[in-house]
Amino acid sequence: MSDDRRAVDLRIDARWLVPIARDGALEAHALMVDAGRIVALLPAAEADERYAPREAIELATHAVMPGFVNAHTHAAMTLLRGIADDVPLDAWLREHIWPAEMAHVAPDFVYDGTLAAAAEMLCGGVTTAADMYFHAEASAKAWIAAGMRAVVGIPVLDFPMAGAADADAHLARGLAARDAFKGAATLSFVLAPHAPYTVGDATWRKIVTIARETDLGIVTHLQETRAERDDALARDGMTPLARLDALGVTGPGFVAVHAVHPGAGDVERLARQGCHVVHCPASNLKLGAGIAPVAAYVAAGINVALGTDGAASNNRLDMFDAMRLAALVAKGTSGDPTLLPAQQVLRMATQHGADAFGLGASIGSLERGKLADLIAVDLASVATEPCYDPVSQLVHAASREHVTDVFVAGERVVANRAPTRIDAAAIAARARAWRDRIVSAPR
């Protein structure tokens, strides 16, 4: 070995490296990590000559890929997982979810629930979550405790919730949380008004102003149900998206979650304005909302990311499940099995989620200079052999049980299927305790 080899923190050799930045997988390659970033992806033999790693990991049967970006969740609602299934959407919300939230949502609920969500997601290969919930200061602490990257939504509603009396109070509190966590390298923030039907024009205008001043993006639930779109058409003479467009909300910093029911002109509007869509197939199906026209969005050049939504409506924070559903439903409802091929779905679950929240230059693919947010998926089980194509295998045969190791900014936050920073058993026990408290509470 020559003396001029560069010292690096970590070398990972894997059966396959799935870079996302280009199609397919690299074999007999190594990935070098230093100071939390990817410094090289290169043939293993070349790596021997050029780098002197302080630590080396051999993953002989694994695919190593960027961690998943779960582009939409309500993490703390994990504590309400499956509290009310198989009921109509309206009853689900009004009779079950809202009463439980009114009674229990407080900083400790949010911290414990977010930590439970982080444990589930990390073990399932999710390294970044775009979250939308109350008490952002409590969720921020949980993300940091778990060692997981998060885009923390600053919730905005026109009515009182979680101790904030109105939109101004929600905004003030969320922006204070953002200021308090400015030094947290794994956190970023986004303005998260709940939906066009719960936030009025005056508040939307304030949000646009704040977004410009602070350079924050805006994410909202958009046209999740047909009724939402049609009610708005009847009332406003335009779709909710057209209204947001008129208010100056849309643009490359705008993320529309769900977008199940675009109206006339909406697909073109999203494309023209450079907006992003987050597709949450499990939640949309389970609540009977319908199926977003993902293939049409993709064909129009819109960046489509994937999300799980919250565990109360999904009931799992599982990006393998989201990928497979997105692919299967697109194929099955169109009759075209060539739609949403595995490579594209894998990209939606990683790079496209990063792009939606302005993180596309930092995470979402295995590329030199990006943060080392990586996962290892063991493809040597009876469920994943034989393997003709690792990309297809990751989408259609593997699931989160095959994720063995997870790195966030080069730190191994899951090792051999167990979180390293947090205690999964203790977190599960806390979730159980919350359930006991919730079911025994007077209603």
Residues 338-357 that bind a copy of itself (CB under 8 A): 338-342
Judged by beta carbon, residue 5 or residue 435, the one nearer a copy of itself is: 435
**Which positions from 117 through 136 interact with a copy of itself, judged by CB under 8 A?**
119-120, 123-124
Relative to beta strand 68-73, strand 411-415 is: unpaired
Part in contact with a copy of itself (CB under 8 A); list of ranges 85-93, 135-143, 269-277, 356-364: 85-93
Minimum distance from residue 374 beta carbon to a copy of itself (Å): 21
68 is a contact residue toward a copy of itself (CB under 8 A): no
Minimum distance from residue 74 beta carbon to a copy of itself (Å): 15
Single-letter code of the amino acid located at 189: F
Q: Is 26 helix (H, G, I), strand (E, B) or coil?
A: strand
**Which positions from 210 through 269 interact with a copy of itself, judged by CB under 8 A?**
226
- Of residues 73, 284, 308, 404, which one binds a copy of itself by CB under 8 A? 284
- Of residues 24, 43, 163, 288, which one binds a copy of itself by CB under 8 A? 288
At which residue do the structure tokens 């199940």 appear?
260
- Of residues 18, 97, 140, 289, which one binds a copy of itself by CB under 8 A? 289
- Of residues 187, 192, 278, 431, which one binds a copy of itself by CB under 8 A? 431
Judged by beta carbon, residue 83 or residue 247, the one nearer a copy of itself is: 83
Largest CA distance in the chain: 74
DSSP helix, strand, coil percent of the chain (3-state; round to 5): 40, 25, 35
86 is a contact residue toward a copy of itself (CB under 8 A): yes
At which residue do the structure tokens 């080392």 appear?
372
Q: Is 72 helix (H, G, I), strand (E, B) or coil?
A: strand
Q: Is 381 helix (H, G, I), strand (E, B) or coil?
A: coil
- Of residues 96, 108, 157, 5, the one with CA closest to residue 313: 96
- Of residues 331, 362, 411, 421, which one binds a copy of itself by CB under 8 A? 331
Cα separation, 138 vs 55, whole angstroms: 35
167-180 and 136-146 are packed helices; what angle lies between their axes, rounded to 10 degrees? 30
Task: Write the interaction track for a copy of itself spanning residues 387-426; mark x where CB under 8 A is met and - where it is not.
Answer: xxx--xx--xx-xxx----------------------x--
Q: What are phi and psi of 310, to 5 degrees?
A: -80, 160
